[in-house]
Amino acid sequence: MAGERAAIRYAKAVLNLANDNNTAEVVNGDMQLIVNTVAQSKDLKDMLYSPVIRSSVKKSALLEVFKNANQATVNLIDVLIANKRTSLLPAVASSFVTLFEQQKGNQIAEVTTAVPLSGDLEAKVLAKVKALTGKEAAIKNIVDENILGGFILRVGDTQYNASIANQLSKLKREFTIN
């Protein structure tokens, strides 16, 4: 969890810089692009986590992939490279998006499912989150085949686990206790 805490610190610093320069909206777009690109590219993810690949190679690759990025985003990449923390880039970008949405008064509902959400299911989840919290929310869908089916909904500090894996785990505990 130390990496997560560091990612939040980096994200807060970038958000403060972006707010000072009135570029928070643009940087948020960069961060969403980083999150999506890294999630979709196994090669990019492997490069970020590799201790064998030189920092200079990582920097040139990242600057080439995100060549239209705002200066604050480029500075973040430079700092992460200098501190040998490139593996934090996806977590920093994700934390930035969350902090930016919170700053705007929005909340993000993380929905973990075994398969990607369809448009219809996404609308139903948004309606349920609004009914539960009274606030609008943006959906962040995380696909994790390990939950087998169902979903895990996390809004702020509240989590609702309706996954098949969780239900099987409860059954297993019941049978082993009795």
**CATH code 1.10.520.20 region(s) in the chain:** 2-102
Fold of 2-102: Peroxidase; domain 1 (1.10.520)
Predicted confidence (pLDDT) at residue 1 exceeds the cutoff of 50: no
Check residue 12 and give its pLDDT: 92
CA angle 44–49–52, rounded 5-degree value: 100
CA distance 111 to 116: 10
CA angle 15–20–26, rounded 5-degree value: 55
Structure tokens at 10: 């980096």
CA distance 48 to 34: 12
25 vs 130, residue with greater confidence: 25
Query: Around 147, how many Cα atoms within 13 Å sit in the side-chain half-sphere?
Result: 18
pLDDT digits (tens, 9 = 90+) for 42-68: 898 999 898 898 988 999 999 899 888
**CATH code 3.30.910 region(s) in the chain:** 106-177
Alpha-carbon distances of 150 from 7, 53, 119, 163, 164, rounded to whole Å: 29, 39, 16, 4, 6
The CATH class of 106-177 is alpha beta
